[in-house]
Chain A
């Protein structure tokens, strides 16, 4: 059983919809991350949060809006997405953003934009 839980597992939405992805970690970690995994690209880091504060935004379009209310929860709010945003979105957490700490990943949300 993974210590990082993502919901929903699958999401199909139209381009004008608003939806949110949720991530919860039960590992007592302080850092959380969003990644995007497309079919033809390597895993791309999107956002990093450390102790609820955003420390990195990797030039992500504003139609993706992250929220981190506490160290255990991370959301990704989606609005007016494009077909190229269809991908697997992975959440991860680590003890800290220190570079030697391994990140633990959730199962991902597979997002399809119609």
Chain B
């Protein structure tokens, strides 16, 4: 069965600090997809990134970067030079190639203080 663990329930930083969110997953499939979503206070989940299990290249998008380590089953997310607008709950999710089900981690609440 697939499982996603986000060990950090809440992280508080001061603006301009970097923050790294951990995500560890479990799956028996060799082909799977990993996602990160952002949930601001307004409630909607905003898609940030998808990573395929066969592509271990790290990715950078502006102040966001992702580190996919298949050997440790981790898909960590770093926000560089955080801003107040980054305050939200961030979810890591996994979907196996064969299934309909997107399994979410428990989420990490990020609070960026001015």
Name the A residues within 8 Å of B101 (CB-CB). 45, 48, 56, 58
B32 at the binding interface (Cβ < 8 Å): yes
A99 near B95 with CB under 8 A, answer yes
Which listed residue (A55, A103, A106, A108) contacts B102, Cβ 8 A? A103
Most buried by A among B44, B91, B99, B101: B44
In angstroms, how far is the closest chain B Cβ from the Cβ of A48? 5
B43 near A100 with CB under 8 A, answer no
Which listed residue (B45, B52, B98) contacts A90, Cβ 8 A? B45
B52 near A105 with CB under 8 A, answer no
A67 at the binding interface (Cβ < 8 Å): no
Interface range on chain A (Cβ under 8 Å from partner): 20 to 34
A-B contact pairs, 20 of them (CB 8 A): A4-B44, A33-B102, A42-B106, A43-B104, A43-B107, A45-B100, A45-B101, A50-B100, A58-B101, A90-B43, A90-B45, A99-B95, A99-B98, A100-B50, A102-B47, A105-B45, A105-B46, A105-B47, A107-B42, A107-B43
Since A45-B100, A90-B44, A99-B95 are in contact, a sample of 17 more A-B pairs with Cβ atoms closer than 8 Å, ordered by chain A residue number, is A43-B104, A45-B102, A50-B100, A55-B100, A56-B101, A58-B101, A90-B45, A92-B45, A99-B96, A100-B33, A100-B52, A102-B47, A103-B47, A105-B44, A105-B45, A105-B46, A107-B43
